Amino acid sequence: MKIAVLGGGTAGFIAAAHMTRYFPKAELWHIYDSRIPTIGVGEGTTPRFPLWLDEVTGIGPDELRARCGATVKLGSHYEGWGSHSTDFVNRFQPPRLFGYHFDAGRVTGIISDHVRAKQLDARVVSLEALPGGVTIGFEDGSQLDCDYVLDARGFPAGAWTQAPEDPEIIRMDWIPTGRAMVRRLPPSTETSMSRLVARPHGWIFQIPLRDWTSCGYVFNPSLSSDEDVLADFDVFLKEEQVEPTEIRVRVSFPNFMRRNWFDGRIFTIGNAASFVEPLEATAIGATIMQVRIAQRWMTDHHPQSAPDVGAVEHANRTMRSYVLRNSLFITWHYARGSRWDSPFWNLASRSLERARGHDYLAGHMNAMTDFLDVGRDLPGTEIGTCTEQEKWEREILPKLTKFIPFGNFSELNFAQVGHGIGYYSANKMSVGDSANG
């Protein structure tokens, strides 16, 4: 079997390491264009990444901290969100689970040690799926034939709002952000939580690594200019008694997903397949889910067999559901506004109303209603402060009634966020057919 992974970012190296681990006898190519820069910022993950990293590389938290200054993440700490403008925590559940904070560039270097592939530094200009495989076309006119391709070459042109409409792209207009400015600050004494602070133009994240803190301001560029956001960014840092530093990264991002990320030969993964704003750090988890589906497909289907159309659609439907449900859970965070009465928060608090206008979200909105109802009856604060696994199994586990997630999130996440933003206190009755505050 001949497999090619395209892309030199985090998703590309995750895919290459995964294929190395599960198909050691395959002819594996890792192809990327070194002329395309990667964005090196601090990043948070969900528990999917530590579980994957240990499974594929054997690397645990102590080694990752020693080699690249990563820290263990237990969840996210929200400040100023919701109608009560109080702080709350969305802790990973159960307490034994954890994610990471890390420098994406340095972690990619560590993952690369576990890739066994033919490396090719070249620009891919075409992919053609054929009945018996895929033909990769390069800038110099040469070609490479493979059985399967995992394409992690970043955002597609059609994902951006200024591009012509692409019927294969779902643009998530219900997500209220699309740009971030990032600084590097001194290290923090508290490293177990990502910090998410509501501000007039959006929200500020702080990702605490061992040696420094990644701090970014996420906002809507249609509502606020870089200059206005930078001015408030400086105000925030002065309130924190931190000297403002230069902006290291200014980056725009589309909130989107491909309707079909897999055609039977080409798996489109990472930011090439979807992206949802970084509030709940779901990007790497989506990539891991994609490479696992690819692994199962390659295991179950002979490379020369014709793709099963029904099975291909099932794979596409699975990822559509996962990403869209993640986007709705994230959008719900904004439903009760924040301590700021501003154009951004006025728009953001109506985000779920915009989602309701898309017919393809109706089934997911109905499923979300069930999770909202269940979360109401769970003790959000108690869940967020429970740090002992035995206590969790004794006091929290018996309260659970749903044992399947909504995208990446469980009823426990709904309880923590719903009570935290004041959603349930504002909606005294059963949620019924309403998912808005």
pLDDT digit string (tens) for 171-186?
999 999 999 999 999 9
What residues does 44 pair with on adjacent strands? 101
Q: Tell me: the pLDDT tens digits for 357-416?
A: 999 999 999 999 999 999 999 999 999 999 999 999 999 999 999 989 999 999 999 999
Judge whether residue 78 has pLDDT over 70. Answer: yes
Tell me how far apart the alpha carbons of residues 219 and 236 are, in angstroms, rounded to a whole number: 15
Is the pLDDT confidence value at 299 over 80? yes
Determine the pLDDT at residue 41.
75
pLDDT score recorded for residue 247: 87
Q: What is the pLDDT of residue 428?
A: 67
The pLDDT value given to residue 39: 66
User: Residues 252-291: pLDDT tens digits?
Assistant: 999 999 999 999 999 999 999 999 999 999 999 999 999 9
CA distance linking residue 255 with residue 299, whole number of Å: 32
pLDDT number for residue 434:
46
What pLDDT was estimated at residue 429?
A: 54
The kind and range of the H/E element at 91 are: strand 88-91
Tokens linked to 400? 């659970």
- The two beta strands, 202-208 and 193-199, are antiparallel
pLDDT score recorded for residue 84 = 85
Say if CB 88 and CB 420 are below 8 A apart: yes
Model confidence at 427, pLDDT cuts 50, 70, 90, reads confident
* 3-state secondary structure at position 139: coil
Sign of the Cα pseudo-torsion (356, 357, 363, 364, in order): negative
pLDDT score recorded for residue 36: 85
Q: 38 falls in which pLDDT band (50, 70, 90)? A: confident
> Please, is 402 exposed, middle or buried when counting C-beta atoms within 10 Å of its C-beta (0-12, 13-18, 19+)?
middle
Q: pLDDT category, 433, cuts 50, 70, 90?
A: very low
| Residue 16 parent element (H or E) | helix 10-22
pLDDT, position 37: 78
Please state, rounded to an integer, the average pLDDT across all residues of the chain: 95
Average pLDDT for 16-39 = 93
CA gap 275, 175 in Å, rounded = 11
Per the CB < 8 A criterion, the answer to whether 101 and 44 are in contact is: yes
Q: Is the pLDDT of residue 136 over 60?
A: yes
Q: Band of the pLDDT at 40, cuts 50, 70, 90?
A: low
Q: Provide the pLDDT for residue 124.
A: 98
Mean pLDDT lowest for which of 198-202, 239-243, 330-334?
Answer: 239-243
The pLDDT value recorded for residue 346 is 98
User: What's the pLDDT tens digit per position in 407-425?
Assistant: 999 999 999 999 999 999 9
pLDDT at 430 over 70: no
Kindly tell me if the per-residue pLDDT of 86 is higher than 90. Answer: no
Provide the pLDDT confidence category of residue 437 given band limits of 50, 70 and 90. Answer: very low
Per-residue confidence band for 431, with pLDDT thresholds at 50, 70 and 90: very low
Q: Which two tokens stand for residue 109?
A: 């270097």
pLDDT average, residue stretch 19-36: 96
